[in-house]
Structure 1
């Protein structure tokens, strides 16, 4: 079905096109390039009928068709239910390790429209731009199709500060939904995840912008900032350097917790490389360097599940409960609780202890990782 979407309105920040033009010229010369996509469930391809009908793959196909002489690689680093806070801690391992030439980042419906996620999003952008592979970066914002909400306001601040191209589904697809010219169920079964028709529209918003850059590729453009440098941060920037501690890269003190040594074959096996605790008093202790601590754990639909408590530097007044019982029914959730922010730099003691457990527990408490940020 043909929809009268105003795709040109998707370009909400022109940004600087120099890096993307260079990437296009590289492909035009027949050199190999790698295209990478980082985001949540929509990027992963949730509710598209096949991996090939996901918007990310459709954008990859645009690159292949536009540059047939180039060998183009596709890397999809989307993980459902995740935010830019998790994204910044995993982008090096899951995407930048492939040395991508072109990167598209999307977290607008998983991040909340708050200053906290402005800061985590900026950390992700800075980490990506400063990587040794120096990728061309494009930003995009999906939108909820029931209320038009997303984190675009905060993410746009970052796009402007770093002169990055950004496209928006809120300015293109959402107006058609709001007016009734497109019925929600034509493009999304749940007002969040697009179906194949919805993914095609999302891809078209992105490739319309890429077409504009392609048409202008031979016009010289000054770089937004000198190679190897970044502008001053617009937030406190406490997330640019985030490390995710799991059982393959850390040695916490175990007192009842047990390491999960099952191999993780791909990034979608999200409950791997962690630790389990089953009984009251089971404890695991880390020494984490940074100014912020977050704990990533499983909230399970299999209940009851043990409940844990986390303390940092022994401070009971800031202790946080980690409830492994998930109130939703769609499946187990990879959940992050932010325990501390903007502490004094240094090494901090992080202690996680099981405080509630029963003989009827269906599964153990699963600690996926501890994330230290600065």
Structure 2
């Protein structure tokens, strides 16, 4: 086993790349992208996802699957300049992706986008809807990019949100590439020890990223040689209630909530992975923020610190106790502070609503203040205002 797990060329001996093509999809946009690449146009390739896309556990940024995929494109099309945009942020899901894609990726006018959230999302209808909101924003964006959906997997349990994400892929006739169908079966069958490709049964190491990239580029290679005439593209009506195609993310610089005891964080943000920025912090019981918004739902992002304890807050929409959510600022894991995203209410009647966040419990030994990163409003319409 040791001898043939060292290079991408040998991955075919272990994994089933063909099975990784979960859905071929309409290849019209992708073929157009590859044709433009062959003609030497300058093109932008974007990736959005969680820690796997960001490259967590890869020894260097250029070892992650996203960078390897772009490296393959540069090798195949040596006369083409590819701009690489990695919008991966660890420990985040497609609900946050839908709220940030307009800032973190789409202004770069990507020509090809890979979407990866299948181990960050839970396998529930809620994340089917948030994923659809993200996909619709990218698909309908100004640059009309080709899209490929990537479905990762937990290598100890086989867990993945691919069941729901693939429903969105098929609905929009998009290519879906599955590690659950290609790499995981080799692990489950004992042909590929999980320890060879991941240290924690989730995040690929360099070899795991190499295998991932090989499944993706195998598909791209097939598209290059596919001469089938593609059907006319159709942008279908939403499959879900689609509250997340139109989102607004409220932070200190674009909102004026009523507040008491909370202070704005004006520390400059280094990059998109510098996540605990542009929000508000407070450490006293009774401190609060209240946002008025027009939409159909609200979620709150806040920091949970591993070196706690930290204050506890409560969020509620329209003073309705059924929406009340406890926001515990202490994180019970040790890998780092987590940006928690909690949905307080969704699918409300469209109109004006209020979300109130208040610190309800503090401790003498608190090590950090409560930090509210943002409020994400869903179901926004063009005439909607938030404050």
- On whether the aligned pair clears a TM of 0.5, the verdict is yes
**SS at 1:12's partner residue?**
strand
For these two proteins, the number of residue pairs brought into alignment is 369
How far apart, CA to CA, are the structure 1 residues paired with 2:348 and 2:133? Answer: 17
Q: What is the CA-CA distance between 1:320 and the residue it aligns to?
A: 1.2
Q: What is the CA-CA distance between 1:319 and the residue it aligns to?
A: 1.3
**SS at 1:170's partner residue?**
helix
Q: What is the CA-CA distance between 1:120 and the residue it aligns to?
A: 0.7
Q: What is the CA-CA distance between 1:326 and the residue it aligns to?
A: 0.4
Residue equivalent to 1:157:
167
Of 136, 151, 155, which residue of structure 2 is paired with 1:145? Answer: 155
Residue equivalent to 1:246:
251
> Are 1:368 and 2:350 counterparts?
no
Of 140, 143, 149, which residue of structure 2 is paired with 1:133? Answer: 143
How far apart, CA to CA, are the structure 2 residues paired with 1:147 and 1:109? Answer: 11
How far apart, CA to CA, are the structure 2 residues paired with 1:136 and 1:144? Answer: 27
Write out per-residue CA displacement over residues 258-304 of structure 1, whole angstroms, 9 at most, x where no aligned residue. 00000112001000001001101111111122111100100111211
> Are 1:343 and 2:353 counterparts?
no
- Give the aligned CA root-mean-square deviation in angstroms: 1.0
Q: Structure 1-normalised TM-score?
A: 0.97
Write out per-residue CA displacement over residues 147-200 of structure 1, whole angstroms, 9 at most, x where no aligned residue. 111011101110010000011001110110011111111110000000000000
Q: What is the CA-CA distance between 1:219 and the residue it aligns to?
A: 4.8
How far apart, CA to CA, are the structure 1 residues paired with 2:302 and 2:75? Answer: 41
Residue equivalent to 1:209:
219
How far apart, CA to CA, are the structure 2 residues paired with 1:327 and 1:106? Answer: 26
Residue equivalent to 1:109:
119
**SS at 1:144's partner residue?**
coil
Q: What is the CA-CA distance between 1:250 and the residue it aligns to?
A: 1.2
1:1-374 → structure 2 map (5 Å cutoff):
1=5, 2-3=10-11, 4=13, 5-216=15-226, 219-225=228-234, 230-374=235-379
Q: Structure 2-normalised TM-score?
A: 0.94
Q: What is the CA-CA distance between 1:220 and the residue it aligns to?
A: 3.7
**SS at 1:133's partner residue?**
coil
Write out per-residue CA displacement over residues 28-58 of structure 1, whole angstroms, 9 at most, x where no aligned residue. 1111100000000000000001001000000
**SS at 1:263's partner residue?**
coil
How far apart, CA to CA, are the structure 2 residues paired with 1:90 and 1:141? Answer: 20
- Which ranges of structure 2 fall in alignment gaps of 5 or more residues? 380-387
Indicate the larger mover: 35-44 or 66-75: 66-75
**SS at 1:171's partner residue?**
helix
**SS at 1:150's partner residue?**
coil
Write out per-residue CA displacement over residues 71-115 of structure 1, whole angstroms, 9 at most, x where no aligned residue. 110000000011111110011111111110000001011111111
How far apart, CA to CA, are the structure 2 residues paired with 1:361 and 1:192? Answer: 32
